[in-house]
Amino acid sequence: MKIDFEKMLKNKKILIWSLGLHGGGIGATKFFAKNKAKVLVTDLKDKVALKKSILKLKKYKDIQYHLGEHLKDDFKNNDLVVINPAVKPISEFYKLAKKNKQKLITDMGFLLEHTNAFVIGITGTKGKSTTTKLIYDLVKYEVEGKTNSFFKKYNKVFLGGNIRVSPFDFMDKLDEKSIVVLEMSSFQLYHTNYVKKSPDVSILTNIMPEHLDWHKDFEDYAWAKSLIFKYQKKDDVLIINKDLKKMAKNAKSKVIYSNGDNLDNVYQFAKHFQVEKKDVDLIIKEFKGLEGRQEFVLNVNGRQFINDTCATHPVANLYMLNRFENPIVIWGGVDKGFDLKKLAREFEKRNIRLFIFQGTAGEKMLKVLKKDYVKKYVTSNVQTMNDAVEMAYKISKKDDFIVLSPGASSFNMFLNEFDRGEKFVKAIKSLR
């Protein structure tokens, strides 16, 4: 049976904190507006910057907007504050909302609190997107094929979360016969602590230092990741990297250990839920990969362009180097607090030609690279994606790989990693 959200939300006072330029804030605003809530949107961007987003909401006449600034009075007396996951807990208005005892929630938290669907959540520093899509493909295959696995009793499967689909886009469609597969970032998980709910099945691929520009330290980051299973119940399931046994000791759910590899996560999941190995093998064989993860884009005059924009960690850069022989690499952005020495030594050892974007990550990398290597192989302080692509192409030769693998945050030059990837593709097409 579907939840009657209109009955639940009618006349409730909802603050949407950050409309944004992409789907998350827009999806949340649509959801609450169509369910007759009293919706107020606040965003530091002004009306001009948010024009396209506002146009997508034009059919909802009763939405109020406070744009270009945040007003302190907006952060009190709400039934719910729907927060953009990018908002840091150190924010002045975050602290104000907490002081005013506002209930802060993301789309993830709202779904976990208000759904009768079966929820599968996946997180980790690396591998979560691939694992999420493989799990989704497998479960969808089982449901649609009406196999004899655990999933035969369900009839709908939805994919959402950090994989660029907000749960608010399909919340109205969920019932007890639905399955939701969610990729969950540390930011999204952080805010689920307020609803004290975790998915029915949780998968934790690995944890290494990441997003230390958002979290106060590594312990805070790891704590956020642990929320994916913290509130699980006895009959729930946790699949976790065996290297994280210490972390899992307080889990209340059934714990299954994997080797942390994407495929082993899927096989362990399948085994527990009585999915036949041949089904898993088929899904893996047909898996086409994901946008922005070592994704082939175009061949331009014998040069292979690869979009690895989601490689925002030095470890991901190392994975890329192991796959492509001596690529030309477009790197850099905003420093995320990583130790870059190991990656720097690998660049030097392979004489990798580097084009480094302006930003704090590039500044940090230049300090740990050897000066003679920098002089010979590095072009730094690159201002635009077009510049990076054009310069990389000019020095390349036939059969070279030119790879966008930034190893850093995108926030100084791009809206997010996907915007960065889209501009990379656009710049490549302009070469032809």
Question: How does pLDDT run across 35-77, given as a tens digit for each residue?
Answer: 999 999 999 999 998 999 999 999 998 999 999 999 999 999 9
Determine what percent of the chain is predicted with pLDDT higher than 90.
72
CB atoms closer than 10 angstroms to residue 62: 9
Give me the mean pLDDT over the 97-122 stretch: 94
Distance, CA of 99 to chain centre: 29
Question: How does pLDDT run across 262-306, given as a tens digit for each residue?
Answer: 899 999 999 999 999 999 999 998 887 678 888 889 999 999 999
Q: Which CATH superfamily is domain 295-429 in?
A: Mur ligase, C-terminal domain (3.90.190.20)
Question: How does pLDDT run across 174-232, given as a tens digit for each residue?
Answer: 999 999 999 998 888 988 888 999 999 999 999 887 777 777 888 888 999 999 999 99
CATH tag for 109-286 (out of 3.30.70.380, 3.40.1190.10, 3.40.50.1220, 1.10.10.10):
3.40.1190.10
Give me the mean pLDDT over the 157-184 stretch: 93
Q: Give the whole-angstrom CA distance, residue 207 versus residue 72.
A: 37
pTM of the model: 0.80
Domain with CATH 3.40.50.720 in the chain: 9-105
Domain with CATH 3.40.1190.10 in the chain: 109-286
Residues forming beta bridges with residue 382, ordered by sequence position: 357
Distance, CA of 14 to chain centre: 25
CB half-sphere exposure, 164, CA atoms < 13 A:
12
CATH class, 9-105 region: alpha beta
Q: Give the whole-angstrom CA distance, residue 120 versus residue 180.
A: 6
Domain with CATH 3.90.190.20 in the chain: 295-429
Check: CB of residue 251 under 8 Å from CB of residue 232: yes
Q: Give the whole-angstrom CA distance, residue 26 versus residue 334.
A: 26
Check: CB of residue 230 under 8 Å from CB of residue 265: no
Give me the mean pLDDT over the 135-162 stretch: 92
